[in-house]
Chains A and B, each alone.
Chain A
Amino acid sequence: DAKTTQPTSMDCAEGRAANLPCNHSTISGNEYVYWYRQIHSQGPQYIIHGLKNNETNEMASLIITEDRKSSTLILPHATLRDTAVYYCIVRVATDNNNDMRFGAGTRLTVKP
């Protein structure tokens, strides 16, 4: 169901930037890219989303390639608490097509 592909797992050193890639080569013009994460068995947490411009908020930055076929989530200074499964989702938001389909995600482990 998911229209994205992500690496299964990644490691990152504490304090360094974590760069999580996502491929969405079949994305259409009206689909947004969303990132969520799930820490342990908690409910997924929204991180950031964008359409075609790069976005930044207090949690992360989202870099979307010009052709929009891939994107990268950047956690600028990863901490141990950022260890989680990160999900990249493409989602078209029209009134009757607003669902979200998750893939397997990337399991990020931040190491001391």
Chain B
Amino acid sequence: NAGVMQNPRHLVRRRGQEARLRCSPMKGHSHVYWYRQLPEEGLKFMVYLQKENIIDESGMPKERFSAEFPKEGPSILRIQQVVRGDSAAYFCASSPQEPLNTEAFFGQGTRLTVV
């Protein structure tokens, strides 16, 4: 059973371009969480999704950021018109539908660099 897979591991974008970060949850997991980590800082919650539904996006910036978790395929975190301040590590985690109190597992992250 493969772990949570994130790709790409490293992504370089020029200012104004779009960044697409993908997260494939563990097999059987229907809950996905996205976090952002700036250098030397902690993990900041961004969004929590279940299949085809956004449950909590209170940590998402109001503009340029969006997330989806379609019925088929990976979860996507999309950042439009990237700026230098978007440079960070983005982690996703997944957990199963049942039992609800089980642990979530993290991927190894995507390091986004905006130049």
Report which A residues bind B (CB closer than 8 A): 1, 32, 34, 36, 38, 41-46, 49, 51, 85, 87, 91, 93-105
A36–B103 CA distance with the chains assembled, in angstroms: 10
Query: In the complex, what's the smallest C-beta–C-beta distance from A15 to chain B, in angstroms?
Result: 28
A76–B107 CA distance with the chains assembled, in angstroms: 27
Closest to A34 in B: B103
Q: Is the interface of B mostly helix, strand, loop or mixed?
A: strand
**Quick check: A93 and B104 within 8 Å, CB to CB?**
no
Residues on the B chain within 8 Å of A85, using CB: 42
Most buried by B among A42, A49, A94: A42
Contact of A101 among B45, B55, B93, B103 (CB under 8 A): B45
Q: Which chain B residues numbered 1 to 24 have a C-beta less than 8 Å away from chain A? A: 4
**Quick check: B55 and A49 within 8 Å, CB to CB?**
no
Residues on the A chain within 8 Å of B4, using CB: 43
**Quick check: A102 and B43 within 8 Å, CB to CB?**
yes
Closest to B42 in A: A104
**Quick check: B109 and A46 within 8 Å, CB to CB?**
no
Closest to B100 in A: A93
**Quick check: B45 and A93 within 8 Å, CB to CB?**
no
Residues on the B chain within 8 Å of A42, using CB: 108-109
Residues on the A chain within 8 Å of B44, using CB: 102
**Quick check: B106 and A45 within 8 Å, CB to CB?**
yes
Known contacts A87-B43, A98-B55, A101-B45, A43 near B106 by CB under 8 Å:
yes
Interface flag for B82 (CB, 8 Å) = no
Q: A46-B103, A99-B48 are in contact. List 5 more A-B contacts (CB 8 A).
A: A42-B109, A43-B4, A46-B106, A100-B93, A102-B43
**Quick check: A95 and B45 within 8 Å, CB to CB?**
no
Known contacts A99-B33, A102-B42, A43 near B107 by CB under 8 Å:
yes
Interface flag for B105 (CB, 8 Å) = yes
Interface flag for B52 (CB, 8 Å) = no
**Quick check: B101 and A1 within 8 Å, CB to CB?**
no
Query: In the complex, what's the smallest C-beta–C-beta distance from B98 to chain A, in angstroms?
Result: 10
Known contacts A44-B43, A93-B101, A98 near B107 by CB under 8 Å:
no
